[in-house]
Amino acid sequence: MGFKNQLWVGFYLLVAACGSDDQASVNLPQEPIAAGAYYPLSVSDACRGGGKINFCTSESVVSIDSLTVDNPRVADVLHMEQLNEGLRVAYAELVVDAKRSGSTSLTIDATFDDGSQRKVETEVVVAQANRIELTHGCSVDEPDDPDLFPAQHEVLLTVDLFRKAQRLNGEYQASLLQGDGLHRVPGQLKQNAYVWTAPDEPGAVSLTSPPFPRFSQAYRSYSSADVSIDSVTRRYEGRYTYQTSVPFDVELTVDGERPCELPPLRLETRTPEVCAGPDGAVSWLRENPAYGVSVRALSSGNCALTVSVEGTSTAIDVEVEFDVMEAPAVPEDRCASVVCEPISSCPDGSELATRDCCATCVALSSPQQCEAQRATWDELYETELEGATACNADSDCGPVVLLGGCRRYCFVALNHERTADFMNAISEDYFTSCPSCQVTEPADCVGSGDVFCNEGRCSLR
């Protein structure tokens, strides 16, 4: 066989490996569906392709033309609109109604948007569950009591059905749980979800399952008045950039144990000139302190905070010394004193541009001209930046803010002595770039990191 023939054989094998483009598939799970449960069923194009060369195209289902279930005593297939509205999902056209243990063949004929009519044959397996497991998440990492929650806290519970060690699929239609403060989340189809609300009064609530009498799970509720603040410690030490978020770890316990979820904390700064909350707040709420609390570093000095459990008298005072760099220098707005005549539109063949701080109509630039101008400005910027970042120590460097122009830069680390030269060199081209690539809205640069001297160049952390 010659080289060209080998090449063509390889080509046809590659096409075959990508999958046929006239087949259909369904999304049935590998594990059985629980008897008494629904499971969403979708028909899709079987061709998936992949790799750098993909000869696959993916068509969509236009209509389900026929459904044939070999043994409807085991399972049936319904159209989604046959379910109660509260159970329906938008991502599937069909629903498996699993009835009893066993298996049955399923044949579906469907029409796709390329005009093809395709058939898919598969097997539906159903098993009878003999036990359930209840799971939930905790925001506290490794809690001492994973079943302890604040009063009125809503806990999302997932109920999994099993046949011995095998997990089963689907949303069980009979009620799986009962207990005070419990309500079901319908319309899941793939899983069983409930929400339990912890009661106002501290104590235990037992959840049981009518279909599975051996199951019982107790959850506990606690009052915010029972919470102790054991410690509030700064997570990192060192020098901070102006407006940097400084995190603190908070250790909260109830009767000496860390619960699954924590109550909200109130933070108050007694030194607002040194540290404050969001937008300079002197008092603010941290809804979920499991991930810690934080303040904004504003200046060097003693940061004094009061941390309290919201709605209680439980509080702790914290004092930490901050070493904060000065606020970054913002370039002077050369257009602040310029008065401009408003222009709302331009005639054909021209576009709005900013010249000498005011809007004006200029001849329309082609995309090629814009790209050339952008490239010219980029080259100028990089050249000037190379000479303005030389340093011998961290103290040589400072953060500078750039606004507007063809690029949007936030902080740029420059040598203090070269900052003015750098800004003067780039300002003219920077503020008169091609209108179609200008960025006119200012960048939000608060808290964008520290500067340091890295191998002789000012850099941003």
110: CATH: 2.60.40.1080
pLDDT of residue 449: 53
Residue 208 lies in a domain: yes
pLDDT of residue 427: 64
- CA–CA separation, 393 and 390 (whole Å): 10
| Claim to verify: residue 232 and residue 216 sit in the same structural domain | no
Q: For residue range 234-244, what is the model confidence (pLDDT) as tens digits? A: 999 888 888 88
| Claim to verify: residue 317 and residue 356 sit in the same structural domain | no
pTM of the predicted protein model: 0.65
Whole domain around residue 400: which residue ranges?
Answer: 350-460
The DSSP symbol for 408 reads: -
352 pLDDT more than 50: yes
Which of 191, 222, 253 is the last residue in one of the domains? 222
Residue 111 lies in a domain: yes
- CA–CA separation, 429 and 440 (whole Å): 15
| Claim to verify: residue 42 and residue 123 sit in the same structural domain | yes
| Claim to verify: residue 200 and residue 241 sit in the same structural domain | no
pLDDT of residue 446: 41
User: How far, in Å, are 231, 269, 312 from residue 305 at the CA level?
Assistant: 13, 5, 17
Residue 136 lies in a domain: yes
pLDDT of residue 169: 97
| Claim to verify: residue 248 and residue 277 sit in the same structural domain | yes
| Claim to verify: residue 361 and residue 445 sit in the same structural domain | yes
367 pLDDT more than 60: yes
370 pLDDT more than 80: no
375 sits in which H/E element: helix 367-388
Can you tell me the mean pLDDT for 172-192?
A: 94
The CA-based angle 304-306-311, given to 5 degrees, is 165
| Claim to verify: residue 240 and residue 308 sit in the same structural domain | yes
- CATH number of the domain bearing residue 268: 2.60.40.10
Q: Which amino acid type is present at position 23?
A: Q
pLDDT of residue 396: 83
190 pLDDT more than 80: yes
Which of 109, 127, 145 is the last residue in one of the domains? 127
pLDDT of residue 56: 61
| Claim to verify: residue 111 and residue 156 sit in the same structural domain | no
Residue 166 lies in a domain: yes
Question: Contact 109/228 with Cβ under 8 angstroms?
Answer: no
| Claim to verify: residue 120 and residue 136 sit in the same structural domain | no
Question: Contact 35/126 with Cβ under 8 angstroms?
Answer: yes
User: How far, in Å, are 124, 344, 401 from residue 101 at the CA level?
Assistant: 10, 72, 68
Residue 212 lies in a domain: yes
Can you tell me the mean pLDDT for 118-136?
A: 96
- CA–CA separation, 96 and 43 (whole Å): 12
Can you tell me the mean pLDDT for 77-86?
A: 94
- Three-state SS at 320: strand
CA atoms within 13 A on the CB side of 343: 17
Question: Contact 101/35 with Cβ under 8 angstroms?
Answer: yes
pLDDT of residue 217: 97
| Claim to verify: residue 285 and residue 368 sit in the same structural domain | no
| Claim to verify: residue 143 and residue 98 sit in the same structural domain | no
- The size of the chain, in residues, is 461
Domain count, the chain: 4
Helices (H), 268-364: none
pLDDT of residue 53: 43
Residue 79 lies in a domain: yes
Residues 6+ apart with CB under 8 A from 426: 377, 380, 381, 384
Q: What is the number of other CB atoms lying within 10 angstroms of the CB of residue 140?
A: 19
Chain centroid to Cα 321, Å, comes to: 34
Residue 8 lies in a domain: no
18 pLDDT more than 70: no
- CA–CA separation, 325 and 29 (whole Å): 57
pLDDT of residue 437: 52
User: How far, in Å, are 225, 254, 267, 318, 362 from residue 313 at the CA level?
Assistant: 8, 15, 13, 16, 66
Can you tell me the mean pLDDT for 218-228?
A: 97
- CA–CA separation, 338 and 308 (whole Å): 50
404 pLDDT more than 60: no
- CA–CA separation, 265 and 286 (whole Å): 5
Residues 6+ apart with CB under 8 A from 95: 38, 39, 40, 41, 77, 78, 79, 80, 82, 83, 189
52 pLDDT more than 60: no
Which of 222, 248, 264 is the last residue in one of the domains? 222
| Claim to verify: residue 80 and residue 145 sit in the same structural domain | no
pLDDT of residue 338: 86
Residue 329 lies in a domain: no
Question: Contact 267/293 with Cβ under 8 angstroms?
Answer: yes
Confidence bin at 334 (pLDDT 50/70/90): confident
pLDDT of residue 341: 86
